[in-house]
Amino acid sequence: MDPIGKKLLEIAEDNLGYTEKGDGYTKFGDWWTKTQDSDHNPYFKTAPWCDMFLAWAAEEAGVEEQAGQFAATVDHAKWFKKHDAWGTKPEPGALVFFDWNGSNDIDQIDHVGLVEKVDGKTIHTIEANADGYKLMRKKRDMDTIVGFGYPGKVEVKQEKYTPKHAAPAPKVESLTGAAPKSQTGEKTSATELPAQEALLTGALAFVLCGTVALAAGKAAAAKAPTASPIRVRKRGKHHRVPVQMPADLTPADLDAAENETTVMPALSLAAAHEAEDREFWGRIAHFEEDDELAFWDSLHAESTLSSASKYASAPSFR
């Protein structure tokens, strides 16, 4: 039995006996109008509902992509054919398409149902809108059957998941500009050197993190205030510069590398010393200004005294 068709049959069996209203209204047509038809055309509320029931059952069973959802039987049959899931062999769980004129023409299909059982040339079905008004079991012969749609054969394309924030590890060729060479001098493919490539990737990540951290440290030192007290805090995880790591590099790798380097402590100490120097020279700058002012004051005083002495010793002509 078709595995997807089996799920549809279970839904159909639970709804056996459903009968449309006197004006042709069905809950399946109403559902189609509200949820499937973009124009919400009320026509479908009282339209022939054999295929709309199957669309509803597919949604109830969660197999919409394999069974398809249509209101028109011709379009539904062509959809199965397009997905290479169309044939003429009866099979339980398959969708069966009829042409009451027996033309075997897919464009002349009038009706659709579900195959429940195959007994020689007799097909036992469950059909909606059977006899024009009811969901019920029927017996059919092959004379009016155009073909079968096999929902279990419809392949559903699944998108491959790719992490949005993960970057592929760089290849050796992209770093060196050429294929790696073996010790004998012969070129080898990247797949022949998995250990070397992994080591190179880890080294590249370590250098990248160190470079970013060094640039961030220099920027922080340049922005250190010259008039405020110096505060040197211990570097912690909250001070790390966020960088995009290669996909195969974990935070644990960075922590292990961090324990083996003194780049950041030395950088923090150098930044602190530079800031302290600026603070010191900023504080003693006014002493230099006072010395210069005293020099000019003494020069002016000396000049004034010399002038006064000169005029005092000059002869009077009165």
Residue among 116, 117, 129 at smallest CA distance from 51: 129
pTM: 0.52
Per mean pLDDT, which range of 16-20, 52-56, 140-144, 248-252 is the poorest? 248-252
Residue among 194, 182, 90 at smallest CA distance from 144: 90
CA distance 54 to 112: 9
Q: Are strands 134-141 and 145-149 parallel, antiparallel or unpaired?
A: unpaired
Given a cut of 60, whether residue 294 has pLDDT beyond it is yes
Cβ neighbours of residue 142 under 8 Å, at least 6 residues apart? 90, 121, 123
Q: Are strands 111-119 and 122-130 parallel, antiparallel or unpaired?
A: antiparallel
Confidence tier at 190 by pLDDT (50, 70, 90): very low
Contact 97, 148 (CB under 8 A): yes
Which stretch of DSSP H or E encloses residue 96? strand 95-98
Confidence tier at 100 by pLDDT (50, 70, 90): very high
Token pair of 287, please? 């002493």
List, for residues 111-151, the tens digit of each pLDDT value: 999 999 999 999 999 999 999 899 999 999 999 999 999 99
CA distance 188 to 201: 18
Token pair of 288, please? 């230099």
Is 167 strand, coil or helix? strand
Cβ neighbours of residue 135 under 8 Å, at least 6 residues apart? 12, 15, 16, 17, 18, 19, 53, 126, 127, 128, 129
Q: What local confidence, expressed as pLDDT, does residue 157 receive?
A: 78
List, for residues 204-240, the tens digit of each pLDDT value: 555 455 555 555 555 555 555 554 444 444 443 344 4
The domain segmentation of the chain, as residue ranges, is 3-153, 167-178+193-303
Is 173 strand, coil or helix? helix
CATH architecture for segment(s) 3-153 = Alpha-Beta Complex (3.90)
What are phi and psi for residue 112, nearest 5 degrees? -145, 150
